[in-house]
Structure 1
Amino acid sequence: MLKFAANLSMLFTELPFLQRFAAAAEAGFRAVEFLFPYDYPAEEIKRQLDAHQLQLVLFNTPPGDTAAGEWGVAALPGREAEARRDIDQALAYARALECPSLHVMAGVVTPALNAEQCRETFLANVGYAADRAAELGVNIMLEALSPQVRPNYLFSSQWQTLALCDAVQRPNVYVQLDLFHAQLVDGNLTNLITTLNARIGHVQIASVPDRHEPDRGETDYPWLFNALREVNYRGYIAAEYHPANGTLPGLGWVKPWL
């Protein structure tokens, strides 16, 4: 049976963040994810999770200075100390929130930076994160972001993600397969699922090209759900999309699965 999670940074945004947990549970979800928890004490988020019997399955390391265009700092040379403080902070939250997976954000590689040096910096920081996470039983996720959404991010293809996972050489580093980004960059999604198979640690979905509910657009998600079943995928599938006309009216696609 496939398992679905609600991304609370994109769904239920009609409500303040801490009220979204109750809304997700009332809609039938038993798991959630979000981008960042750092504006709230871990204890406050844990109360919401426990009160509504929800499992937190994923969140990200801090994004850096988003006003300056940053989206993660783990790949930025000269920022290693900051990146590792961010990783330590994120793992402290993961431990307090009993979250099994953490996405380590790489960063935007500007023309002033050396791409290969950025890659090596990222690998070193991911190795650090993986070793620390292993002590807590936490898995590390790496996610490719499409240029259409995040120009000049360190990597955009699922094959680049797989190569990075291989290069880190840690058993708890996995591909975070966002099928929205994957369709924009790689296509051939069934082959991606079949080939990546056991390397997939987390899946996210949205329609292509509009990033709305997954029952619209050019991507056949029922087909892909079947492909995930066939490779015995046991992780979560997170609804990470912008509702077209409010969250609740658009949840018809997931109700049979909840």
Structure 2
Amino acid sequence: MKLCANLSLMFTEVPLLERFAKARACGFDAVEIQFPYEASIDELVKAKNVAQVEVVLINVPAGDLMTGGEGLASVPELTEEYSQALAQCIEYATALNVKAVNVLAGRCLTAEQESKYWQTFEWNLSRTADALAEHKILTTFEAINTKDMPGFLVHRAEHLWSVMSRVNHPNVKAQYDLYHMAMMGENLWHDLSTRSDQIGHIQFADMPGRGEPGTGGLALKQFFQIIEDSTYDGYVAAEYKPTQQTEKTLNWMGPRVMPS
């Protein structure tokens, strides 16, 4: 598998700009960042180049989502704010030469508004895909479990496939997170085996604690084998919360690990 490390959750023992080199020293030649916007583009490009790693994925800014709000991508009244977030994301994505940009659907906290939120999200997803296609950057979106993030609009595997069918855009694929889907009781084996052509990015963590492989009950080695046997050829991202110093949680990588 083509592995990458999520620098938002891993190597947090050091500041963001130092995590690129940490990841490279541990055997990763690619990384992803949830929200890189705390640093300047120039700082990020320099850190990436010095460490000699690729940045394969970032998220579109999501407003107040991470502090309990609804975010931007699905809220009908916030389409202009989403446009501004997308413009900022494209600046970062093109400078970092990312392969994919992920759109977080966000929450719907008013049940009566759900249909409008779905319409808004799919419209924003489609126009994001149009804009990113001009830069040859894939657009992804993901399902997030409602135990960790109550009210998240896209939270089932079926949501992924139905949105893709309705949007029907050649530059849109699903970001499939093994942890989130396992937390929702989804059939990971079936999805990875039969939907690999619809998946543009994969992430993993053990569950239920979202720690490194071996800290929970998810049979990650088996799922890694399914991924390797499938037609999926994208990156598989370690997006877990280390239970100890990150370098000490990488035994699952085997011989890829380099001395720190």
TM-score, structure 2 as length reference: 0.95
For residues 36 and 154 of structure 2, what CA distance do their matches in structure 1 show?
Answer: 24
When structure 1 is superposed on structure 2, of 61-70 and 49-58 the one drifting more is 61-70
Structure-2 residue corresponding to 1:119:
118
Opposite residue 241 of structure 1, the aligned amino acid is: Y
Would the aligned equivalents of 2:156 and 2:186 in 1 still touch at CA under 8 Å? Answer: no
Pairs within 5 Å for 1:32-71: 32-66=31-65, 69-70=68-69
Give 1:257 shift: 4.8
TM-score, structure 1 as length reference: 0.96
SS in 2 for 1:254: helix
For residues 103 and 72 of structure 2, what CA distance do their matches in structure 1 show?
Answer: 9
Structure 1 residue 138 corresponds to structure 2 residue 137: yes
Give 1:172 shift: 1.1
What count of residue pairs does the alignment treat as equivalent? Answer: 257
For residues 67 and 190 of structure 1, what CA distance do their matches in structure 2 show?
Answer: 29
Opposite residue 74 of structure 2, the aligned amino acid is: A
Would the aligned equivalents of 1:205 and 1:239 in 2 still touch at CA under 8 Å? Answer: yes
Structure-2 residue corresponding to 1:187:
186
Would the aligned equivalents of 1:4 and 1:257 in 2 still touch at CA under 8 Å? Answer: no
- Percent of counterpart pairs with the same letter? 35
When structure 1 is superposed on structure 2, of 130-139 and 35-44 the one drifting more is 35-44
Structure-2 residue corresponding to 1:110:
109
1:124-158: per-residue Cα shift (whole Å, max 9, x none)? 11111000000000001110000111100111011
For residues 35 and 99 of structure 2, what CA distance do their matches in structure 1 show?
Answer: 15
Structure-2 residue corresponding to 1:236:
235
Opposite residue 140 of structure 1, the aligned amino acid is: T
Give 1:83 shift: 0.8
Opposite residue 86 of structure 1, the aligned amino acid is: A
Gaps of 5+ in 2: none
Opposite residue 85 of structure 1, the aligned amino acid is: Q
Would the aligned equivalents of 1:28 and 1:255 in 2 still touch at CA under 8 Å? Answer: no
Would the aligned equivalents of 1:71 and 1:105 in 2 still touch at CA under 8 Å? Answer: no
Cα 1:83/1:113, change in 2 over 3 Å: farther
Give 1:250 shift: 0.7
User: CA RMSD for the aligned pairs?
Assistant: 1.4
Would the aligned equivalents of 1:207 and 1:219 in 2 still touch at CA under 8 Å? Answer: yes
Give 1:71 shift: 5.3
